[in-house]
């Protein structure tokens, strides 16, 4: 499971695996729409926001999403308040 999350990030965002820190398992939640479980991990990336956006534009599986947002760490504490309901259910609280 831990290795698969690195593959997901590399394939969907395009960042090299060497730029990612060790994964930290945050938890599991249940999606509201289809009631499936979703696992959450935390990883740091040593690429800049600008580099990540550039890598994302040519990522192997970028078609699996419509847009990538980069958010300053300080904003993450309240960012979930602006998310749609289905996304809120998928997002663990950051404390």
- Taking the C-alpha atoms of residue 64 and residue 75, their distance in angstroms, rounded to an integer, is 25
**Under a CB-based contact definition with an 8 Å cutoff, are residues 77 and 91 in contact?**
no
> What's residue 83's pLDDT?
53
> What's residue 90's pLDDT?
47
> What's residue 71's pLDDT?
73
**Residue 43: φ, ψ to 5°:** -145, 145
What is the DSSP code (8-state) at residue 47?
S
pLDDT digits over 34-90, tens only?
Answer: 788 888 898 999 999 999 999 998 899 988 888 888 877 665 566 555 554 544 444
pTM greater than 0.75? no
User: Torsion over CA of 60, 48, 94 and 22, rounded to 10 degrees?
Assistant: 70
Q: Which helix (H) or strand (E) holds 27?
A: strand 24-30
Selection from 54, 49, 50, 62 nearest residue 13 by Cα: 62
């Amino acid at each position: 499971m831990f290795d698969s999350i690195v593959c997901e990030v590399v394939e969907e965002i395009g960042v090299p695996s060497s730029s990612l820190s060790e994964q930290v398992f945050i938890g599991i939640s249940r999606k509201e729409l289809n009631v499936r479980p979703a696992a959450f991990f935390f990883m740091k990336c040593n690429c800049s926001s600008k580099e990540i956006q550039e890598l994302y534009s040519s990522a192997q599986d970028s078609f699996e999403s419509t847009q990538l947002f980069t958010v300053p760490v300080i904003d993450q504490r309240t960012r979930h308040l602006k998310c749609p309901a289905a996304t809120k259910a998928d997002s663990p609280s950051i404390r």
